[in-house]
Structure 1
Amino acid sequence: MMRTTTLLPALLLTLFAHTAFAQSTPSQAPPKLEKIEEMADDPITVTAKPAQERQITEKRDNSGQVVEATVKSGPSTYKVKPNHPVGTALPGDAMGSANRGPQWTVMEFDIGKKKKKTTEEDGSTDTAAPPAVK
């Protein structure tokens, strides 16, 4: 008990000091304001960022239903296909999911195309070949 009785006056003193500080009123004098120099009224032109062009290509089957849609939006390309559940599963069942995510085209390589050679890479010149000797 001895320890509590020595801390009690210190706690009460800090509590009263805190409440006295919180209740002090600010001065009635208005704050000092600095005058801001006026700037010239030059017109400001704001241009909107050009919207990304989006190109959508749809593939349909013979009955007219969309089988695949290819979307090119800026530098990215992705394909969206409709969700066809497996067997007799319905959307929301354990075997049939409600959504099918897009397939992003990450890398494309042109393996079948031949690279065009320039005259510097070829090592040849533009002069015609000498005529054949008989």
Structure 2
Amino acid sequence: MTRTSLLWPALLLTLGAHTAFAQSTPSQAPPKLEKLEEVTDDGVTITAKPAENKITEKRDNSGNVTEATVKSGPSTYTLRPNHPAGTAMPGDVMSGNLRGAQWTVMEFDLGKKKKKSVEEEAEQEFNTPPQSPPAK
């Protein structure tokens, strides 16, 4: 006998077992359902913050926008037009249409009053002359 003739009975046996298993009928009883707790609807309303965008534009003498600074919440970024480098013409590889936004990061507020540290308070007390008692 050839090798393929030995494989046919094994293949037919596995296919027959598979079809017999797949044809079993499900039970006629309905599935058991669990009762869920009823929750009252509180009527939660979500309101979005109004957009607080501040746009500042800088223009040249001919009225073209040279720079736009956008402050949106805590983020600040600057948009500038794309000027092609050198002799690049519109449509060349060197003259891309888009220029990415420049984000402002690590900017410190120097005008804000800071809280005095303990060392500064001690130094200030040491440098101030003592007050004389009031005259009687």
TM-score above 0.5, yes or no: yes
Decide whether aligned partners of structure 1 residues 33 and 117 sit closer, same or farther in structure 2, where only a CA change above 3 A counts. Answer: closer
Displacement of 1:36 = 3.0
Unaligned runs of 5+ in 1: none
Alignment partner of 1:13 is 2:13: yes
Call closer, same or farther: CA 1:33–1:118 in 2, change over 3 Å: closer
What are the within-5 Å matches in structure 2 for residues 38-53 of structure 1? 38-39=38-39, 41-53=40-52
Report the CA distance shift for 1:55/1:66 in structure 2 as closer, same or farther (over 3 A): same
Q: Deviation digits for residues 25-60 of structure 1, max 9, x if unmatched?
A: 322322222333434x35231323425522211111
Matches within 5 A, 1:25-64: 25-39=25-39, 41-64=40-63
Partner of residue 76, structure 1: 75
Count of aligned pairs: 128
Quickly say closer, same or farther: Cα 1:73–1:22, change in 2 above 3 A: same
Greater CA drift, 64-73 or 99-108: 99-108
**Farther off after superposition, 68-77 or 29-38:** 29-38
Unaligned runs of 5+ residues in structure 2 are none
Q: Give the % identical residues.
A: 63
Q: Which residue of 2 aligns with 1:125?
A: 125
What letter is aligned with 2:66?
Answer: V
